[in-house]
Amino acid sequence: MAGRKKAGAGARSAKQRATRAALTHDDIMGLAVRPDPELRRRSELLWEDRTRGTRGPKPGFAPDDVVRAAVEIADADGIAAVTMHAVASRLGFTTMAVYRYFPNKETLLDAVIDAGTGSPPPLTEPRADWRTELRQWAHAKRASLCARPWLAELPFVAAPHGPNWLGWLEAITDSLARTGLNAADIGGALSIVDGYARGASDTAVSLARARARGITEAEWAAGVGADLGRAIGDPRFPRFSALITAPSAGNPRTIDESFDFGLERVLDGLELYVRSVIAP
């Protein structure tokens, strides 16, 4: 019933199967496999053109207004404060009015996630080398996550992907194309950089979340230190205790420096591979 008229989508279906990590040719050229229905439904609703018929009263607001209101609430008070009632009343309407635009909260949150993700910074001309661009991309991604720490309070499921998310993939693909790697390797490299950027942003995001709660950096660090410090003296964690109490830790990296250190190692590994493949 839903989406029956999407003839165009159907015609495209042969090319629609793909996974970020591993696309078989058959996946892309597509077969008779029915896609995960829940993902399909959510993806459709995320990309749906929400224009309505022309009959009836004028809408008092638009889907984008709803999403914007939700993002503002999340920015101010965290994702838990984003209730259907809160969103609606910020717009000056009753709760149920929102349901004219989003069939349920999950769908709204899909849109909120994409809006919160935002667009990647545009690649500047003249273009830099791929390593520089990847570094910039990773920094931008981390900054984006820290700017909206409530994104971390949502499940980190990958799908459905909205236009903004695809925008980030487009940007990194563009930079990776400069390596000269083939498509499969670009996909692999993409996973590496994206995986590292998201996984290793953890600490900074955690700090950003604390900041949003009015905790200072020093208080946050003391809390994390005390938490991890429980290892100290515990016979189950001798090595880790030694690590965090080691005097050489007296010259530690900042959170940012730590991220950069790791990023350079990751890029080193990638560069090594590029060199081995491209210039034999």
Query: Least Å distance between CB 140 and a copy of itself?
Result: 16
Q: Is the distance from CB of 157 to CB of 113 less than 8 angstroms?
A: no
- Positions 100 through 119 that interact with DNA (CB under 7 A): 100, 103-106
Rounded CA separation 274/185 (Å): 9
Nearer to DNA, 99 or 273 (CB): 99
For 52, half-sphere exposure in the C-beta direction (CA atoms, 13 angstrom radius) is: 11
Q: Which of the listed partners (DNA, a copy of itself, none) does 170 bind, with a CB threshold of 5 to 8 Å by partner kind?
A: a copy of itself
Q: Which of the listed partners (DNA, a copy of itself, none) does 105 bind, with a CB threshold of 5 to 8 Å by partner kind?
A: DNA
Query: Least Å distance between CB 256 and a copy of itself?
Result: 9
- If binding is defined by CB under 7 A, does position 53 make contact with DNA? yes
Q: Which of the listed partners (a copy of itself, DNA, none) does 277 bind, with a CB threshold of 5 to 8 Å by partner kind?
A: none
Q: How many CB atoms lie within 10 A of CB 166?
A: 12
Q: How many CB atoms lie within 10 A of CB 210?
A: 18
Long-range contacts of 77-82 (CB under 8 A, 24+ apart): 78/150, 78/153, 78/212, 79/150, 79/153, 79/154, 80/153, 82/109, 82/112
Quick note: the x/- pattern for DNA over 61-100, rule CB under 7 A, is: x--------------------xxxxx-x----xxxxx-xx
Query: Least Å distance between CB 59 and DNA?
Result: 4
Q: Which of the listed partners (DNA, a copy of itself, none) does 140 bind, with a CB threshold of 5 to 8 Å by partner kind?
A: none
Query: Least Å distance between CB 39 and a copy of itself?
Result: 4
**Residue in 108, 66, 123 with CA at minimum distance from that of residue 91:** 66
Residue 151, amino acid: L
Q: Which of the listed partners (DNA, a copy of itself, none) does 3 bind, with a CB threshold of 5 to 8 Å by partner kind?
A: a copy of itself
Query: Least Å distance between CB 211 and DNA?
Result: 24
**Residue in 55, 43, 38, 32 with CA at minimum distance from that of residue 6:** 43
What is the binding site for DNA (CB under 7 A)? 52-61, 82-86, 88, 93-97, 99-100, 103-106
